[in-house]
Amino acid sequence: MTVKKTACMLCGNNCGLEVTVEDNRIVKVRGDKDNPRSQGYACRKGLSIKHYQHHADRLYHPLKRVGNAFEQISWDQAIEEIASKLSEIVKAYGPRSLATVAGGGSQGCPSQIPFLGLLLRNLGSQYIYSALAQELTGRYWVDGKTYGSQALHTEPHMEETDLLMAVGWNPMMSHHTDQSRRVLAKFSKDPDKLLVVVDPRRSETAKLADIHLEIRPGTDAMFYRAMISIVLNEGWQKDDYIDKHINGLDSVLSWGTDFDAAAALKLCELDYGRVREVCRLFTEKRSSHRSDLGVLMTRHSTLISYLETVFLSICGRIGVDGGNIFPVGVRPGGPASETPDEIEAKRWRTLATDFPCIAGCYPPNVLPEEILSDHPERVRAVIVSTANPLRSFADTSAYEKAFEALDLAVTVELSMTESAALSHYVLPARSGYESWDGGMRPLYPKTFMHFRAPALEPEGERLEGGEIYTRLADRLGLIPELPDALYQAADSGNHSAFRAELMAYIGSNPSAPQTIPFILAKTLGKAIGSVHLAWQWFNCHILPPSFNDRAAEAGFTPGPGLGEEIFQAIHDHPEGFWIGAVNPSDYDHFQSLATTDGRIHLDLPELRDWIREIDPEREAAKLEEDKDAYPLLMSSGLHWDLNANTAMRDPEWNNGKRAFTALMHPKDGEALNMADGQMVKVTTEAGSATIELHLSGLARPGYIVIPTGSDWCTRERPTGQMPISSPRTHTETRSPPRPCIDISGAGLKRYSGGQLSLGISKPKLLEESGCSPISWSL
Ligand SMILES: Nc1nc2c(c(=O)[nH]1)N[C@H]1C(S)=C(S)[C@@H](COP(=O)(O)OP(=O)(O)OC[C@H]3O[C@@H](n4cnc5c(=O)[nH]c(N)nc54)[C@H](O)[C@@H]3O)O[C@H]1N2
Ligand SMILES: Nc1nc2c(c(=O)[nH]1)N[C@H]1C(S)=C(S)[C@@H](COP(=O)(O)OP(=O)(O)OC[C@H]3O[C@@H](n4cnc5c(=O)[nH]c(N)nc54)[C@H](O)[C@@H]3O)O[C@H]1N2
Ligand code: SF4
Ligand SMILES: [Mo]
């Protein structure tokens, strides 16, 4: 029995964990008090990671679909067949015929992504469809326009803020910020701090709030416009800050003051006086703001992201202590070499749906249309990795149809998922507990690093994700022949000798930079037994000189030995360590901005018409549309203690818990004469499914809530035969069907907070900015 330090892979916090390992199985888990970032914190999900690592649907060997079943094949056969199919398809139909779906499930395991990205790029394709592009690309697009880079985002300065406004964000359950329950509990107990929650339901976070604004779902754009107009009309804006840091205030004034805030707030079902008071407090205190899926996936979400930035800017709360600050990473701030528009102009747009690429991602909810289109260059081959599109993304039926139409579907996975089950090849990846993985996390004022050693021996023939893509690239002839000297230097164990050989090789081979991860994988990766670790070694050695001061602030020695010192720290600190820091007393947050003038730009011509189009009257009409057919609203996006997107696949985990129910307010239950626990048929514009009814105050009258991630459809899915794991099919993991009560007559409109809104309207810019028009995986 040994205790090993590692981390949780189930959300981006990557809390440090100590796992007790017996017979190569995790038997006990506790939060790691030595982890400087999480300090012993872990939520129910992290404490249950044995259910993520060990369950009946884990994969052990490469599989090939033959008819409706899977056969075990060798790695050589898998690589050979996939590579030859890939090259045939790309040769016959061009690089646009290849796409990947990746990213969402790699919240603790990002190392494989550069390898997959490189494979894709070397085959000429740009299509990376990612979960990010159904939640955050609207926000990123706005950040690109206002801050100059789609990679620059703000976070509330939690330690210093005195008023935190949380909109459409439920961190008490989603833990979508570091040590969330601990930090929020402390915050709410502090008499000098105020928590304002804007959420249609009495969420677990709303219960802690000093002020809970129970907004009518889908009206947040009206809410932000109202707040902006109140601040400007009351003259509460921070003129000095605006003079110094903001461009384009005139454009805001052109729509900001002349607005009927009272009518708007009436539509939001909020009290004008309370919202005015919140605005006053926000402008007077050291305030900060954070929104999440409740608005990122609601009506007008991209516009809301813009209005948030405007609100924070006029209140003078961006880039100030206690406000919204830019996390500190490794790269220096300052003007970007290319604007987001210039970058976008070089990227493809999707062919059938004409979506741009934002922050490197394409929206996964349009992929089925791209596959099923009759365009000659349509997508025909898909590699899925760290994602489960067949359950995670909108319109499962469309996805199923699209996957059946593919010439080649390859899924690289831990488990036999719904997406794997419809693929031609399924390749077993090592989990983050069986491979080296992790990385760097910009925070403020410090940057955190946790690159973890495997806690377990890999079982079966599982490989590191990076190794799988290296083998494919090699077979496809994408990796140049490397000199013996490079292999020898790698084998010598002398990292400086290897570094010198590598630099010499790169210096004399101008095309080498296009394949560096693969070169490292084949040389150093082979020598040290991990391609991920080899890639990390390289990353330690290419830190920009501007990072020297930050590394020194964290206790490292700047200079030529810095890369190796940090690489050594990875081994010496299995609990993670601070890799860099800035000194808050003399730190200028605005140095992060990537605009050429170092100011925040608020004039976004692309949004002007959209802003004017939304007024209380028109919004009221839109929100009432289809009310006869669909009198209720629904969010199918609750992220709570009993789910972790689709990644927790062991039914044991939630044994005896009501993990997957439709939550309805008891008042609605009474009005519809429905009882807690009965099965109901939920019908939306997208389809129908049967689910257990749960009468709960966590819902809001007229508003049904369904957790994300679970498989609640009653349709059978082909799962094929799973030779290595159990023969259990996915449909059997659900609770047994019971008699249904049909509430389809009542109808539901699918909607916000975890998927879309756009049953109601289809704002053009939302589409243009990469937020997809369809959602809800049913
Ligand atoms: N336990 C658990 N934690 C998770 C995950 C998980 O699956 N399970 N997933 C992780 C991931 S990938 C993500 S992106 C995050 C998501 O983290 P959150 O965004 O915090 O999670 P949600 O449950 O979607 O919470 C959104 C809140 O918005 C509210 N809301 C719904 N509609 C509206 C609206 O129209 N307006 C407003 N203002 N609010 C609205 C909902 O009532 C809900 O309380 O969670 C992460 N953490
Ligand atoms: N209805 C509804 N749908 C939603 C949401 C919602 O609120 N409502 N939320 C959306 C959000 S915010 C998100 S982020 C997405 C998430 O959806 P996805 O992007 O599909 O991500 P996950 O479900 O977390 O994980 C997908 C797969 O990654 C695999 N995986 C985990 N670690 C590794 C690894 O190291 N290597 C490999 N190869 N695979 C690995 C897991 O086994 C899992 O099957 O879902 C979205 N879908
Ligand atoms: S908050 Fe929970 S899910 Fe997120 S990393 Fe920590 S333990 Fe894992
Ligand atoms: Mo997410």
In this structure, the residue with its CA closest to atom 43 of ligand 2 is: 647
CA nearest ligand 3 atom 4, residue: 11
Q: 13, 29, 54: which is the final residue of a domain?
A: 54
Does 231 map to a domain? yes
Which ligand 2 atom is the nearest neighbour of the CA of 753?
Answer: 7
Lookup result for tokens 């989603």: 174
Quote the tokens at residue 377: 């260059």
Whether 1 and 29 map to the same domain: the answer is yes
Nearest CA among 575, 522, 607 for reference residue 36: 575
User: 114 preceded by cis ω (within 30°)?
Assistant: no
> What is the C-alpha to C-alpha distance for residues 155 and 81, in angstroms, rounded to an integer?
46
Separation of CA 292 and ligand 1 centre (Å) = 6
Q: Does one domain contain both 735 and 644? A: yes
Residue 401 in any domain: the answer is no
End-to-end CA, the chain: 43
Task: Give yes or no for residue 646 CB within 6 A of ligand 1.
Answer: no
Going from the Cα of 387 to the center of ligand 2, the distance in angstroms, rounded, reads 5
Cβ contact 59:31 at 8 Å: no
Q: Which two tokens stand for residue 601?
A: 């730009």
pLDDT value of residue 196? 98
Read off the tokens for 251: 């454009």
Pick the atom of ligand 3 nearest to 644's CA: 3
What's the gap in Å between 104 CA and the centre of ligand 2?
A: 5
Tell me, yes or no, whether 425 lies in a domain: no
Evaluate: CB of 57 within 6 angstroms of ligand 1.
no
Distance between CA atoms of 138 and 127, rounded to whole angstroms?
18
Residue bearing the CA closest to ligand 1, atom 44: 170
Q: Enumerate residues 6+ apart whose C-beta is below 8 A from 245.
A: 313, 316, 318, 319, 590, 599, 600
Instruction: Give the chain's residues under pLDDT 50.
Output: 712-740, 744-745, 749-778
Indicate whether 604 and 649 sit together in one domain.
no
Please indicate, yes or no, whether residues 168 and 310 belong to a single structural domain of this protein.
Answer: yes
Residue 255 domain flag? yes
pLDDT of residue 720: 24
Query: In Å, how far are 59, 394, 428, 458 from 435, measured between CA atoms?
Result: 15, 31, 13, 8
Same domain (yes/no): 646, 603? no
| Domain end residue (candidates: 16, 39, 54) | 54
What the block records as the tokens of 580 is 């860099």
Angle, alpha carbons 342-766-612 (nearest 5°): 100
The CATH number covering residue 697 comes to 2.40.40.20
Where helices occur in 235-271 by DSSP H, the ranges are: 239-245, 249-256, 261-267
Separation between Cα atoms, residue 408 and residue 424, nearest integer Å = 6
In terms of domains, do 605 and 650 share one?
no
Instruction: Quote the tokens at residue 115.
Output: 């390898």
Three-state SS at 603 = coil
Considering only CA atoms, which of 579, 573, 578, 577 is closest in space to residue 5? 573
Q: From the CB of 754, is ligand 2 less than 6 Å away?
A: yes
Of the three residues 540, 575, 610, the one that is the final residue of a domain is 610
Tell me which residue range forms the domain holding 232: 154-325+594-610
In the reported structure, the alpha carbon of residue 396 is separated from the centroid of ligand 1 by a whole-number distance in angstroms of 21
Is the beta carbon of 454 within 6 A of some atom in ligand 2?
Answer: no
Is 29 a pocket residue for ligand 3 (Cβ < 6 Å)?
A: no
Question: Which letter does DSSP use for residue 552 in this model?
Answer: H
| Cβ of residue 752 lying under 6 Å from some atom of ligand 3 | no
Phi, psi dihedral angles at 290 (to 5 degrees): -145, 130
In a domain, 189, yes or no: yes
So what's the pLDDT on residue 656? 87
Do both 603 and 642 map to the same domain?
no
Q: Both 300 and 191 in a single domain? A: yes
Counting ligand 1 atoms within 8 A of each CB, the residue from 9, 137, 201, 293 with the most, and so the one to mutate, is: 293
The enclosing domain of 189 has a CATH number of 3.40.228.10
Q: Quick one: DSSP state of residue 395?
A: -
Instruction: Tell me if 170 CB under 6 Å of ligand 1.
Output: yes
Nearest 5°: the CA angle 501, 504, 507 is 150
User: Residue 472 has what pLDDT?
Assistant: 98
Alpha-carbon span 359 to 144, nearest angstrom: 9
Domain CATH for 38: 3.30.200.210
pTM listed for this prediction = 0.93
Question: Across the strands, what pairs with 17?
Answer: 6, 31
Q: How far apart are CA 566 and CA 562, in angstroms?
A: 6
Residues 261 and 292 grouped into a single domain: yes
Amino acid at 447: T
Residue 191 lies in a domain: yes
Pocket of ligand 2 contains residue 451 by CB under 6 Å: no
Query: What distance in Å separates the CA atoms of residue 72 and residue 61, rounded to the nearest whole number?
Result: 6
Contact 750, 775 (CB under 8 A): yes
> For residue 42, how far is its CA from the centre of ligand 3 (angstroms)?
6
Cβ contact 37:448 at 8 Å = yes
> DSSP string covering 664-680, please?
E-HHHHHHTT--TT-EE
Ligand sitting nearest the alpha carbon of 639? 1
Asked if 601 and 704 sit in the same domain, the reply is: no
* Residue 151 CA: distances (Å) to CA of 297, 336, 624: 20, 11, 37
Q: Three-class SS string for 466-492?
A: HHHHHHHHHHCCCCCCCCHHHHHHHHH
- Which atom of ligand 2 sits closest to the CA of residue 388? 20
**333 CA to middle of ligand 1, Å?**
31
The pLDDT assigned to 296 comes to 84
Q: Kindly tell me the burial class for residue 716, based on how many C-beta atoms sit within 10 Å of its own C-beta (0-12, 13-18, 19 or more).
A: exposed
Whether residue 364 contacts residue 133, with contact meaning beta carbons closer than 8 Å, is answered with yes
Domain presence at residue 284: yes
Give how many domains the chain has, as a whole number.
3
Tokens read off for 566:
């940090």
- Would you call 590 helix, strand, or coil by DSSP? helix
Do 48 and 171 have their domain in common?
Answer: no
Q: Mapped to the 3 state alphabet, what secondary structure does 92-104 carry?
A: HHCHHHEEEEECC
What's the CA-to-centroid distance between 569 and ligand 3, angstroms? Answer: 24
Between the alpha carbon of residue 85 and those of residues 64, 470, 476, the distances in Å are: 13, 17, 10
Q: Whose CA is nearest to atom 6 of ligand 3?
A: 15
Would you say residue 268 lies in a domain?
yes
Ligand closest to CA 116: 2
Domain identity same for 318 and 292 = yes
φ/ψ (deg, to 5) at 481: -70, 135
Ligand 2 pocket member 396 (CB < 6 A): no
* pLDDT score, position 747: 53
pLDDT of residue 710: 56
